[in-house]
Chain A
Amino acid sequence: MEKRDRIKVLISVIGLDGHTTGSEVVSRMLMDAGMEVVYLGIYQTPEMIIQAVIQEDVDVIGISSHASNYTQIEELMGLLKKNNLDDISVICGGTVPKQQIQELKNIGVSEIFTPQSTSESIINYIVSNVKREKGPSIN
Chain B
Amino acid sequence: MKRETDYGHPIKSVYTPKDIENLDYEKDLGDPGVYPYTRGYHPEGYRSRMWTQRMTAGLGSSRDTNKVLKQYREMGQRGGMLVICDRTNALPIDSDHPIGRKEVGVLGWPGASLLEFEELMDGIPLTGQSVTLLGSSAMSSIRLGYLVALAEKRGVNLNEVHGSITEYPFCNTFGQTDAQPLDLNLKLWLDCSEYIIRNKIHMRSGILSQHFQESGGNNAQALAVEMAMLKELCSLLVNERGLDFDDVAVYPYELVSVGSRFFEEIAKIRALRRMWAKMAKEKFRAKKDKSCHLLIAVHTSGRSMTYQQPLNNIARCAIQTVAGAIAGCTAIDNACLDNAYAEPSPLAARMSLNTQHIVADETGVTDVVDPLAGSYFVENLTNKVEEEAYKIWNKIEDLGGIIAAIRKGYIQDMLRESAQKRQREVEKGDRLIVGVNDLVIPPEEDFQIPIQKLEAGDSEKIARRMEEWKKTRDMPLLEETMAQLYSDAKKEDRYNLMPSIIEAVKAYATAGEMMGVIRKARGLSYDPLETIDCPFAFE
- A1-24 residues at the B interface, CB under 8 angstroms: 15-21, 24
Question: Judging by beta carbons under 8 Å apart, are B341 and A97 in contact?
Answer: yes
Question: Judging by beta carbons under 8 Å apart, are A118 and B175 in contact?
Answer: no
B-side contacts of A120, CB under 8 Å: 427
Is residue A78 contacting chain B, with contact meaning CB distance below 8 A?
no
Is residue A68 contacting chain B, with contact meaning CB distance below 8 A?
yes
Question: Judging by beta carbons under 8 Å apart, are A115 and B306 in contact?
Answer: yes
Q: Given A68-B107, A115-B306, A116-B308, does the pair A18, B87 have CB atoms closer than 8 Å?
A: yes
Question: Judging by beta carbons under 8 Å apart, are B420 and A68 in contact?
Answer: no
**Contacting chain A: which of B95-103, B183-191, B314-322?**
B95-103
* Residue in A21, A43, A72, A119 whose Cβ sees the most chain B Cβ within 10 Å: A21
Question: Judging by beta carbons under 8 Å apart, are A21 and B451 in contact?
Answer: no
Question: Judging by beta carbons under 8 Å apart, are A68 and B103 in contact?
Answer: yes
Is residue B13 contacting chain A, with contact meaning CB distance below 8 A?
no
Question: Judging by beta carbons under 8 Å apart, are B341 and A95 in contact?
Answer: yes
Nearest residue, chain A, Cβ from B216: A21
Q: How far is the CB of B180 from chain A (nearest CB, A)?
A: 12
CA distance in complex: A71, B177 (Å) = 22
Question: Judging by beta carbons under 8 Å apart, are A19 and B341 in contact?
Answer: no
- Classify the interface of chain A: helix, strand, loop or mixed: mixed
B-side contacts of A21, CB under 8 Å: 175, 215-216, 419
- A117-137 residues at the B interface, CB under 8 angstroms: 118-120
Q: Given A15-B103, A16-B99, does the pair A24, B427 have CB atoms closer than 8 Å?
A: no
- A41-98 residues at the B interface, CB under 8 angstroms: 41-43, 45, 66-68, 70-72, 95, 97-98
A-side contacts of B451, CB under 8 Å: 67, 97, 99
B-side contacts of A116, CB under 8 Å: 306-308, 426, 433, 436-437
Nearest residue, chain A, Cβ from B89: A16
Q: Given A43-B529, A98-B443, does the pair A20, B176 have CB atoms closer than 8 Å?
A: yes
Nearest residue, chain B, Cβ from A28: B420
B-side contacts of A71, CB under 8 Å: 102, 456
- B138-190 residues at the A interface, CB under 8 angstroms: 172, 175-179
Question: Judging by beta carbons under 8 Å apart, are B176 and A115 in contact?
Answer: no
* Interface size, B (range): 35 or more
Question: Judging by beta carbons under 8 Å apart, are A20 and B87 in contact?
Answer: no
B-side contacts of A15, CB under 8 Å: 87, 99, 102-103
Task: Pick the residue among B178, B306, B420, B433 that contacts A25 (CB under 8 A).
Answer: B420
* Interface size, A (range): 20 to 34
CA distance in complex: A98, B341 (Å) = 8
A-side contacts of B448, CB under 8 Å: 98
Is residue B106 contacting chain A, with contact meaning CB distance below 8 A?
yes
Residue-wise interface mask of B (215-250) relative to A, using a CB-CB cutoff of 8 A (1 in contact, 0 not): 110000000000000000000000000000000000
Question: Judging by beta carbons under 8 Å apart, are B172 and A18 in contact?
Answer: yes
CA distance in complex: A42, B178 (Å) = 10
CA distance in complex: A24, B175 (Å) = 9
CA distance in complex: A1, B103 (Å) = 42
- B283-320 residues at the A interface, CB under 8 angstroms: 306-308
Is residue B71 contacting chain A, with contact meaning CB distance below 8 A?
no
CA distance in complex: A68, B177 (Å) = 19
A-side contacts of B99, CB under 8 Å: 15-16, 45
Nearest residue, chain A, Cβ from B214: A21
A-side contacts of B416, CB under 8 Å: 24
B-side contacts of A43, CB under 8 Å: 179, 529
Is residue B394 contacting chain A, with contact meaning CB distance below 8 A?
no
Q: Given A15-B103, A118-B427, does the pair A24, B342 have CB atoms closer than 8 Å?
A: no
Question: Judging by beta carbons under 8 Å apart, are B419 and A25 in contact?
Answer: yes
B-side contacts of A95, CB under 8 Å: 307, 340-341
CA distance in complex: A99, B102 (Å) = 21
A-side contacts of B178, CB under 8 Å: 18
- B446-463 residues at the A interface, CB under 8 angstroms: 446, 448, 451, 454, 456
B-side contacts of A119, CB under 8 Å: 423, 427
A-side contacts of B446, CB under 8 Å: 98
B-side contacts of A25, CB under 8 Å: 419-420, 423
Is residue B90 contacting chain A, with contact meaning CB distance below 8 A?
yes
A-side contacts of B126, CB under 8 Å: none
Residues of A within 8 A of B (CB): 15-21, 24-25, 28-29, 41-43, 45, 66-68, 70-72, 95, 97-99, 114-116, 118-120
Residues of B within 8 A of A (CB): 87-88, 90-91, 99-100, 102-103, 106-107, 172, 175-179, 215-216, 306-308, 340-343, 416, 419-420, 423, 426-427, 433, 436-437, 443, 446, 448, 451, 454, 456, 529
Q: A16-B88, A21-B215, A67-B454 are in contact. List 15 more A-B contacts (CB 8 A).
A: A15-B87, A16-B87, A16-B99, A18-B172, A19-B176, A21-B216, A25-B420, A43-B179, A67-B343, A67-B451, A68-B103, A68-B107, A95-B307, A98-B446, A116-B308
A-B contact pairs, 27 of them (CB 8 A): A15-B102, A16-B99, A16-B100, A16-B103, A18-B87, A21-B175, A24-B419, A28-B420, A41-B177, A42-B177, A45-B99, A67-B454, A68-B342, A71-B102, A95-B307, A95-B340, A98-B443, A98-B446, A98-B448, A99-B451, A115-B340, A115-B436, A116-B307, A116-B308, A116-B436, A118-B427, A119-B427
Closest CB pairs A-B (n = 6) = A16-B87, A115-B307, A18-B176, A21-B175, A67-B342, A97-B341
